[in-house]
């Protein structure tokens, strides 16, 4: 099923329903949205772009982004969205690796790319986009037919362990993700709106499908990105808003709501994913803004589709194990199976830590032109996620850490998140990350990087005592490094790789060891 068919059907059934909104200003109804996308598709066809060819999108968040995506799909081509915050050389590498025949880019990024790529660049929004409207707006065709196996979206991973890999997301994957959203995450009605505050090239953008299918509104804030004050002001004017947010964005939104005495009026659902949400943060979020939160666990290789933790579980304080469930990422979504596997590929007993694996209709067919990585990740029918976790007897999955983040000290496994949760319970600690440092005696020892709340002061000895009071002695950090803020990538994920590099570059600065394990 070509996703552009969903747009064509909605435009047919609800032509005058509001579709694209800039701030609070309506830019297009569904008939216009579909008409513009068909025009873009026609223009691409005239340039020789055919079914299955790749078209890159290197644009900031804007309503035109959706028109371009659906224009690409209208003719059966493959969209290659690139995070707008990447350097032009990084974007050029993705364009070359994907074999993109053409690039849509906004004015600034088109200028930056002009000396980096040899393929044509169309400016959108801008002159080229407007010209397509004027000269092609009268032409419309039905979307090209695509099968469930056809690739629709080529998603490039963040590349934290090397060059990014292109995840082939098929039409069937998108169908599975979209329908499981209704079953496991949230319902959508024509009265609803989705707000694009996170990059449309990734989590926020991939949640467009269910809102197109149901004829809901697509809102891009005037800033084009995440501004907590802007969202809190805009949401009551728009009403029934859903949005995707990284945990760090949720924390900032809740901080601003509390500071202004706001309760999140106008926000219907906030879906958080993309990193660990610490217990203290989500407890406060529900206390300040109410039961508006749903957690999703997925990755590009199984887009938004591994597990989900419902708004009921997140808001529940009556269940005897509510804290355990709140610290989990929920239960398997409907179209997939989730298992905890040992190194030999066998399923482990309940509450035993192993690697999280998933199989089902949402799992990618493989990586673009990378059979080695595909074979390493897809084994015996399972997608091996690289995440360590455990599953309880009720099916709730709790993440420990990425397998590469686990610290092995003196032969014992230390999961940084467990230590981070303890440190975050101190009221002065705003955010924290624990990483392993090479040690000649223990192999590795944990080091905590700590960012404090404004105006707060705390001593390393105080944090050390906090850890000693709550977790085994060998797990607590051997040194504490206080920094203004933790480094993050374009999606709000904490960059532990950068923290490890800091340790390697200046190890003497982190030798303030406490008494041994």
Give helix then strand counts, H and E, for the chain.
Answer: 18, 26
Number of domains the chain contains: 2
Single out the residue in 114, 146, 178 at which a domain terminates: 146
CATH number at residue 59: 3.40.50.980
Question: Is 313 within the bounds of a domain?
Answer: no
Question: Is 94 within the bounds of a domain?
Answer: yes
Cα angle 244, 39, 26; round to 5: 45
List the structure tokens of 42.
């026609």
What pairs with residue 123 in β-bridges?
Answer: 105
Question: Is 388 within the bounds of a domain?
Answer: no
Question: Is 93 within the bounds of a domain?
Answer: yes
Cβ atoms of 237 and 307 within 8 Å: the answer is no
54 vs 100: CA distance, rounded Å? 4
CATH number at residue 448: 3.30.300.30
| Domain with 61 in it | 23-146
What pairs with residue 219 in β-bridges?
Answer: 21, 195
What pairs with residue 112 in β-bridges?
Answer: none
Question: Is 197 within the bounds of a domain?
Answer: no
Cβ atoms of 184 and 65 within 8 Å: the answer is no
Q: What is the pLDDT along the chain (517 residues), one digit of tens a residue?
A: 899 999 999 999 999 999 999 999 999 999 999 999 999 999 999 999 999 999 999 999 999 999 999 999 999 999 999 988 888 888 999 999 999 999 999 999 999 999 899 999 999 887 677 778 766 544 557 999 999 999 999 999 865 445 789 999 999 999 999 999 999 999 999 999 999 999 999 889 999 999 999 999 999 999 999 999 999 999 999 999 999 998 888 989 999 999 999 999 999 999 999 777 889 899 999 999 999 999 999 999 999 999 999 999 999 999 999 999 999 999 999 999 999 999 999 999 999 999 999 999 999 999 999 999 999 999 999 999 989 899 999 999 998 866 678 787 866 678 788 899 899 999 999 999 999 998 877 778 999 999 999 999 999 999 999 999 888 788 899 999 999 999 987 667 788 888 988 888 876 554 444 434 4
Q: SS3 for 23?
A: coil
Single out the residue in 146, 171, 206 at which a domain terminates: 146
What pairs with residue 208 in β-bridges?
Answer: none
Question: Is 279 within the bounds of a domain?
Answer: no
Question: Is 393 within the bounds of a domain?
Answer: no
pTM of the complete model = 0.83
Single out the residue in 109, 126, 146 at which a domain terminates: 146
Question: Is 396 within the bounds of a domain?
Answer: no
């Amino acid at each position: 099923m070509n996703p552009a068919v969903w747009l064509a059907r909605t435009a047919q059934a609800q032509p005058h329903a509001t579709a694209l909104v800039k701030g609070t200003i309506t830019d297009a109804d569904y008939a216009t949205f579909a008409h513009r996308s068909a025009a873009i598709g026609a223009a691409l066809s005239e340039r020789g772009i055919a079914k299955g060819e790749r078209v890159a999108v290197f644009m900031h968040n804007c309503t035109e982004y959706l028109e371009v995506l659906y224009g690409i799909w209208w003719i059966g081509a493959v969209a290659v969205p690139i995070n707008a915050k990447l350097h032009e050389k990084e974007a050029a590498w993705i364009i070359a690796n994907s074999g993109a025949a053409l690039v849509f880019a906004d004015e600034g990024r088109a200028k930056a790319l002009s000396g980096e790529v040899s393929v044509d660049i169309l400016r959108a929004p801008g002159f080229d986009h407007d010209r397509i409207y004027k000269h092609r707006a009268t032409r419309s065709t039905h979307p090209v037919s695509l099968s469930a196996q056809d690739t629709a979206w080529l998603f490039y991973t963040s590349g934290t362990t090397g060059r990014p890999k292109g995840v082939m997301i098929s039409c069937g994957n998108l169908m599975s993700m979209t329908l499981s959203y209704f079953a496991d995450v949230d319902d959508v009605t024509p009265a609803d709106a989705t707000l694009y505050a996170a990059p449309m090239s990734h989590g926020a953008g991939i949640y467009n499908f269910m809102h197109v299918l149901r004829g809901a509104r697509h809102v891009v804030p005037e800033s084009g990105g995440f501004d907590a004050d802007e969202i809190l002001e805009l949401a009551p004017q728009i009403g029934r808003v859903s949005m995707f947010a990284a945990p760090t964005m949720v924390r900032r939104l809740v901080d601003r709501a509390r500071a202004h005495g706001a309760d999140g009026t106008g926000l219907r659902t906030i879906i958080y994913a993309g990193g660990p949400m610490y217990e203290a943060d989500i407890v406060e979020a529900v206390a300040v803004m109410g039961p508006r939160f749903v957690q999703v666990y997925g990755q590009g290789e199984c887009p938004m589709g591994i597990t989900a933790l419902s708004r009921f579980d997140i808001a529940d304080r009556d269940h005897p194990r509510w804290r355990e469930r709140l610290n989990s990422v929920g239960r398997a979504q409907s179209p997939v199976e989730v298992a905890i596997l040992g190194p030999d590929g066998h399923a482990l007993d309940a509450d035993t830590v192993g690697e999280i694996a998933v199989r089902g209709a949402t799992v990618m067919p493989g990586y673009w032109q990378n059979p080695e990585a595909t074979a390493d990740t897809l084994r015996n029918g399972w997608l091996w996620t690289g995440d360590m976790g455990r599953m309880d007897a009720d099916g709730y999955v709790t993440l420990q850490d990425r397998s590469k983040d686990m610290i092995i000290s003196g032969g014992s496994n230390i999961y940084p998140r467990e230590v981070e949760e303890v440190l975050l319970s101190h009221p002065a600690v705003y955010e924290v990350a624990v990483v392993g440092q090479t040690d000649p005696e223990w192999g590795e020892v944990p080091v905590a990087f700590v960012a404090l709340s404004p105006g707060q002061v705390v001593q390393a000895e105080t944090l050390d005592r906090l850890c000693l009071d709550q977790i085994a002695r060998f797990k607590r950090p051997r040194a504490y490094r206080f920094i203004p803020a933790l480094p993050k990538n374009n999606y709000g994920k904490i960059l532990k790789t950068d923290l490890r590099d800091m340790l390697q570059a200046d190890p003497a600065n982190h030798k303030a060891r406490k008494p041994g394990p």
